Amino acid sequence: MKVLIVDDEEMIRNVLKEYVEFEGGEAYEAADGMEAVKMCRAADYDIILMDVMMPRLDGFSAVKEIKKNKNIPVIMLSARGEEYDKLFGFEIGADDYVTKPFSPKEVMARIHAVLKRYSDEPSSDIVSFEGLTIDMTGRNVYVDGEKVELTPKEYEILFYFVKNKGIALTREKLLMDVWGFDFYGDDRTVDTHIKMLRSNLKQYRKFIVTLRGLGYKFEA
């Protein structure tokens, strides 16, 4: 497990590095976004822990640049927990968002959860519901024949819905099975992602039904 830790605070880098190495991983450090981009061009990493507010090049900009060439999982680290910041992070391809101050043990748990999702083999099915076509293997989604771009998390939520078609799913169930980690009951994480997913599915958002007081169900 090769982890690139990007943060302008040396103390935070040292703490995370210690935990990564304690679990047998290899930790690499960058003090700002620009350095991180250069390191990703020169080498491959299994996952990136990316701070948001940094000098020279901020974390959001660094992630956008890195994602142009490599599909490396990213967990954003930020002292800013506003919904807008989280939404923007997910829109540019981040897999998770951790608000400072955080527990290093929680960060490690999230690292393992993200890496597990990336290692899971997808189904080979291609399914269609009216004008919505979902290619599980190719991770492609089409609305009336036009390909739509989803974030990694949106893909996973949609695929999970399809595999559990017609089943009522609580927010807690979605958190555990899709995120692979108990987010201490933070249901807003689920709602935020599903709001984004529905927007991208356009008229076929109707297939994702809200179950008031419970969660969601995919009906098609």
Q: Tell me the average pLDDT of the chain.
A: 88
Point out which residues pair with 17 in neighbouring strands.
none
Domains of the chain and CATH, by start = 2-119 (3.40.50.2300), 126-218 (1.10.10.10)
What single-letter amino acid sits at 168? A
Tokens in use for 152?
């990694």
Q: Residue 200's pLDDT is what?
A: 95
pTM: 0.61
Distance CA 208, CA 217 (A): 6
Q: Residue 47's pLDDT is what?
A: 96
- Per residue in 16-26, pLDDT (tens digit) is 999 999 999 99
Tokens in use for 213?
């007081």
Res. 184: pLDDT tops 60: no
Residue 4 — pLDDT band, cuts 50, 70, 90?
very high
> What is the rounded average pLDDT of the residues 49-75?
91
Asked which of 63-72, 75-84, 118-127, 135-144 is least confident by mean pLDDT, the reply is: 118-127
- The answer to whether residues 154 and 137 touch, using CB atoms and an 8 Å cutoff, is no
Q: Residue 81's pLDDT is what?
A: 67
Res. 124: pLDDT tops 70: no
